[in-house]
Amino acid sequence: MVETTTSYTLIDGRKVSSDVKTEIAQRVAERKQLGKKTPHLAIILVGDDGASQTYVDNKVKACKSVGFHYTMMRFADTISEDRLMKHIDHVNNDDDVDGFIVQLPLPAHISVERITENIRSDKDVDGFTNHNFGSIISKNPLLMPATPFGVMELLRRYRIVTEGKHAVVIGASRIAGAPLSMMLTEQGHATVTICHKYTKDLASFTRSADILLVAVGKPGLVTADMVKEGAVVIDIGTTRVEGPEYPKGWAIKGDVDFKNVAPKASFITPVPGGVGPMTIASLLLNTLRAAELRNP
């Protein structure tokens, strides 16, 4: 699981994700042997956005790999918000479905907030509803936001100590930065500073970080002079950058200048292959948990 160079350990999200899927598949097989219900994930996709289609295809492939049942629901981007809401209500009331997601982004005429808040919290395997978001600070969180959940799992499996450490999170989004800062505080017992686009003199905060976590979507934002020696660096950002210098005409870039930051780090995630694969693994973990809570 650990690939080490002379100066840093590369955090291999693909390997950890594979390990998690193997563990989930074993638990699903055990449920089937005991005559218990197979976890069932429903996926709603609106429109024909290429990136969204790729994400959904990867989620379907992951469901197959662990033995989940799954249902794909595709709708044109002209579907009305009210019509989409009726389909969500149907899935909410379908006892065979343990968890479901609405793939983002949605067309501009549909309110993401309204759609998200109408997903039953016990089926919200993305962990986006207010109930699940708020449950992070409870002693018994229900279904945690998938990307931050994946980050915490990487830290745990690489035995990276968070207790008493200074963690600096760049990015305050509802999907990643904000819930991650809460999880680092509540579960990781770290001292957390959260920075965002209004933060002045960002480097003065990042240079004090024992653990630096970046989720902005701005390629190369974090440079070597912003990172202290021996820091753990978790790059959550993914941006498609186009240019003739790339063999495919494009490349996926993270928020961290990996080439120059890595030699200063003790642990670092690559992009791609770091946090990204863990998001789907976390989605599967949440679906299994939802199934176990509904059908012990």
List, by residue number, the catalytic residues: 59, 103, 126
Nearest residue to 285 (alpha-carbon basis) of 25, 15, 13, 57? 25
C-beta separation of 217 from 238 below 8 A: yes
